[in-house]
């Protein structure tokens, strides 16, 4: 690659997710953080119904007001080709037979789609098929950490404390409401939290301190996911830590204590109170806990990152009981709002340094993957052909050995 060529980075955002708008805000922050003299930023916007577009106008957040983005000039339809020969976007893929579709090659993909189809491994799988380096957790790590229930199981196996919980399925809830409520009450005292298994940003999360509120919370949560988890409420504070790295190169940020008006930081508190994403939320940085507990939580964050084979960046949320310094890992966010850039600023890394580091980590992971053996040649096809094995359409029967 020529020294003077800008690195082409496809920033992909939006998506078929209830966190669509959050993704737009995060993408603007990420694109603005890049050094424009060194990187060519290619915005890739996925609409709420799954259509893909690109165009420089997508870099202006004002363009998204009143859902009028697609009516503006300079918007082109695209798809990310899974064919390794393209290594990027096919422009105007639905052009007529007499029109020619062009290919826009990309050096690195930078996904900032929160929630469904962004953090669950599906998008990462497409990047793997396309054989393009990409920022963030790999397919398996994304899928695992997207599921709160499976994440708890992995963390327990690695001796990382988690909040006790009960899994409830949508079918079980609709069939046996009274029995489910009785099982929960036998296990936990109120209050409890009810959470969809695979959503983030507190969407669908409910706090219940009565049978009536428990049933209402389960009704809401099971609309968002077929599996939900009911957890005992920890009477403490939330402490967050961001982790960044790949392999043995793992860094942790300073800790923060998010503040809110209610008992937990809801979706509206996180994203709708200001125009700066998570940075506009109320918080205390560094978190007002002891140096010893700070070090313990930072080490637990490193351990959790390794346990789920993390790479890129994430934010890990803990619940802490200050009186006893007891802590529980609550959630691993592989695509945190604003990418937790504000936490790294407090750790003396600028947003530009963070996004450049993430691109470098993506390239390192890609180089590591290319060391794997994917092609194991055998003479199986030649042997089968020699035995007269033919396709079903020929009407011939396979020769049995």
Q: Which token pair is 225?
A: 């996911």
* pTM, rounded to two decimals: 0.85
Its domain, for residue 247, covers 145-160+235-365
Instruction: Tell me, yes or no, whether 17 and 115 share the same domain.
Output: yes
Residues 356, 307 share a domain: yes
Q: CA–CA separation, 233 vs 212, rounded Å?
A: 17
Contact (Cβ atoms closer than 8 angstroms) between residue 240 and residue 317: yes
Query: Would you call 373 exposed, middle or buried from its count of C-beta atoms within 10 A (0-12, 13-18, 19+)?
Result: exposed
C-alpha span between 196 and 222 (Å, rounded):
7
Q: 246 and 350, same structural domain? A: yes
Comparing CA positions, the residue from 321, 255, 317 lying closest to residue 288 is 255
Q: Along the 401 residues of the chain, how does pLDDT read in single tens digits?
A: 445 789 999 999 999 988 899 899 999 999 999 999 999 999 999 999 999 999 999 999 988 887 777 778 889 999 999 999 999 999 987 765 555 678 999 999 999 998 888 999 999 999 999 999 999 999 999 999 999 999 999 999 999 999 999 999 999 999 999 999 999 999 999 999 999 998 765 778 999 999 999 999 999 999 999 999 999 999 899 999 999 999 999 999 999 999 863 444 454 555 444 434 445 468 999 999 999 999 999 999 999 999 999 999 999 999 999 889 999 999 999 999 889 999 999 989 999 999 999 999 999 999 999 988 777 777 777 777 777 665 555 444 544 43
Residue 78: which CATH number?
3.40.50.20
Number of H helices, E strands in the chain: 12, 16
Asked if residue 125 and residue 32 are part of one domain, the reply reads yes
335 and 279 in a single domain? The answer is yes
* Token representation of residue 150: 């499976």
Angle CA(261)–CA(266)–CA(267) in degrees, nearest 5? 130
- Nearest CA to 299 out of 164, 162, 163, 160 is that of 160
In this structure, are 338 and 296 located in the same domain? yes
CB 319 within 8 A of CB 234: yes
Q: How far apart (Å, rounded) are the C-alpha atoms in residues 137 and 202?
A: 21
**CA dist., res. 259 & res. 279, Å (int):** 12
Same domain membership, residue 260 and residue 198:
no
Indicate if 205 and 174 belong to the same structural domain: yes
């Amino acid at each position: 690659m020529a020294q003077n060529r800008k690195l082409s980075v496809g920033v992909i955002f939006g998506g078929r997710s209830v966190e669509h708008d959050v993704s737009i805000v995060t993408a603007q922050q990420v694109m603005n953080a890049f050094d424009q003299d060194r990187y060519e930023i290619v915005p890739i916007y996925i609409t709420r119904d799954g259509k893909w577009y690109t165009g420089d106008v997508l870099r202006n957040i004002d363009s998204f007001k009143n859902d009028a983005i697609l009516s503006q000039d300079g918007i082109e339809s695209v798809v990310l080709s899974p064919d390794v020969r393209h290594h990027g976007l096919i422009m105007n893929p639905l052009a007529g037979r007499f029109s020619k579709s062009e290919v826009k090659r990309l050096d690195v993909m930078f996904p900032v789609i929160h929630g469904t189809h962004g953090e669950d491994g599906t998008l990462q799988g497409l990047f793997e098929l396309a054989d393009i380096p990409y920022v963030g957790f790999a397919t398996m790590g994304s899928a695992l950490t997207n599921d709160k229930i499976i994440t708890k199981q992995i963390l327990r196996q690695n001796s990382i404390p988690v909040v006790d919980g009960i899994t409830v399925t949508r079918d079980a809830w609709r069939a046996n409401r009274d029995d489910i409520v009785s099982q929960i009450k036998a296990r936990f005292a109120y209050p409890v939290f009810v959470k969809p298994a695979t959503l983030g940003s507190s969407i669908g999360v409910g706090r219940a301190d009565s049978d009536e509120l428990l049933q209402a919370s389960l009704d809401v949560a099971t609309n968002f996911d077929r599996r939900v988890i009911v957890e005992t409420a920890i009477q403490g504070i939330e402490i967050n830590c961001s982790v960044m790295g790949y392999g043995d190169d793992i860094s942790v940020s300073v800790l923060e204590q998010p503040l809110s008006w209610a008992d937990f930081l809801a979706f509206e508190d996180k994203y709708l109170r200001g125009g700066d994403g998570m940075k506009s939320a109320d918080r205390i940085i560094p978190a007002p806990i002891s140096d010893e507990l700070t070090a313990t939580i930072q080490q637990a964050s490193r351990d959790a990152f390794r346990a789920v084979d993390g790479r890129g960046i994430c934010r890990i949320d803990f619940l802490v009981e200050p009186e006893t310094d007891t802590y529980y890992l609550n959630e691993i966010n592989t695509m945190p709002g604003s990418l937790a850039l504000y936490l790294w600023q407090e750790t003396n890394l600028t947003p530009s340094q963070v996004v450049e580091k993430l691109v470098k980590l993506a390239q390192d992971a890609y180089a590591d993957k290319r060391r794997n053996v994917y092609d194991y040649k055998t003479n199986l096809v030649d042997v089968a052909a020699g035995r007269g094995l033919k396709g079903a359409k020929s009407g011939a029967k396979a020769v049995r050995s």
